Structure 1
Amino acid sequence: MLEIKNVSKQYRGEDKLLCDAVSDVSLSMEDHRIYALVGESGCGKSTLSRLILGLESPSSGQILLDGKAISRKGAKRRKETAKAIQLVLQDGKSALDPHFTVYQAIAEPIRNLLHVPKEKERTRIFELLDRMGLPKETANKKTDELSGGQQKRVGIARALAISPRYIVFDESISGLDVILRKKILELLKSVQEEERCSYLFITHEIDAALYLADEIHVMQNGKLIESCRWNGNLDVFQNPYTKQLLQASHLI
């Protein structure tokens, strides 16, 4: 289980005063489920994702994986965290090294974290390409030769390569056209069912969260203001801000 316990993160602003990017957030993520974190830009969602990944340390509170504090201090702890939790970023292009082929991009986490035989690595990479709906020939292309949608798929394949328990998607469908967005959401849903991992799907688009997630958490000004198990009934949402998000997406 991944547990976020009363986590806050403060930064010092230009006026040298401390401000809360994340304030007293608590959230538990069980295995094999999809969680959505919804809120507008600047509400603290991405800061929380960096804390979960161990890229930054909380000012207070704890983030625990199976009861042990998440940390990237020391090579062993960094490796443990990276094997358990992977990240898919909003900008597929900037997340991939343009000098790498697609094969190299997907192989990199396998080689750094698993050290499996070459044949097993090759099998896994081509299995992932097939699952992402990418032809085998894609493996030999440079990542900057791909379309935006293909780069998104390679980013997802790269995160899946080591079979992590948790994947954080940080605004990973933002900027896609409606048709491609729907295809990526469908892909994420089917892959999660096959891989039996858990997602934290971070988005400002509540309709996408409702399509994908088992549990919805709404964030505003660094705080979690509403958390609901999603059962298909919009009446579960009571907070006025959540209702504003639903109205903005023409859902109510």
Structure 2
Amino acid sequence: MNTIDIRTVNVVQYLQPLREGGSLPAIVKADDGFLYVLKFRGAGQGKKALISEFIGGELARAIGLKVPELVFMNLDDSFSKTEPDEEIQDLLKFSVGLNLGLHFLSSAITYDPLVSKVDSLTASKVVILDSLISNIDRTAKNTNLLNWNNELWIIDNGASFYFHHNWATWENHLTRTFPLIKDHVLLPKATQLQEASSAIKKVINAAVIDEIIANIPEDWLLNEGEILSPKEIRAAYIQFLNAKLSMIDQLVKEAEDAR
């Protein structure tokens, strides 16, 4: 796997909100000339959703899935001052600082389980990834997948790692499987779970996990009233992911049984 190298860009233009997303992400232009979907730190789930998005996206990339480039995006306070919509104004105000952007895939279409095509190995990898990161939000109702250039792209992992919303009990999640995999939109097409599992074991190890977690911006780990320090939070994500990796055969069996 390549060493992770996340670019940092500055938002220069707010173009439009994406109202189908619960957290009101937006299409913005950055100072590198490209368009991005900006995920805001000031949205409902706050910086924790950005952390989930980042870890899930980089793990997906590491196992060979298609993920739009992730960038850190600086947002200054000038945008909220010119925004007429009060809801968006507040979101911009609370999101000054470092946010997360995904490269905008122009003319991509939302994955539709009835008509979109996906090969079974890719479907199987996505199912196992979502079991590993406990992603509760890749269902037929909300697929969080895109089809672009006839390929499947992973775009939204913000609902993963839900244990981090309560650090007091996070260790209870270390030995749990992921029964909600039964609702996964790609489960019916995930007919190569064993092959996908072997492929994932070859590329994901403790060093890869360490590197991804090391790249989480320190600022995202600082939350008022948090009982763990940023260093302890990093260690918790590492411990959680290594625990899930050691349980991968169990998670695969659970998905196979659900299928």
User: Per the shorter chain, which TM-score range?
Assistant: under 0.3
Query: Which structure has more strand as a fraction of its residues?
Result: 1
Q: More relative contact order in 1 or in 2 (CA 8 Å, sep 6+)? A: 1
TM-score, normalising length: structure 2: 0.25
The alignment's TM-score, normalised by the length of structure 1, stands at 0.26
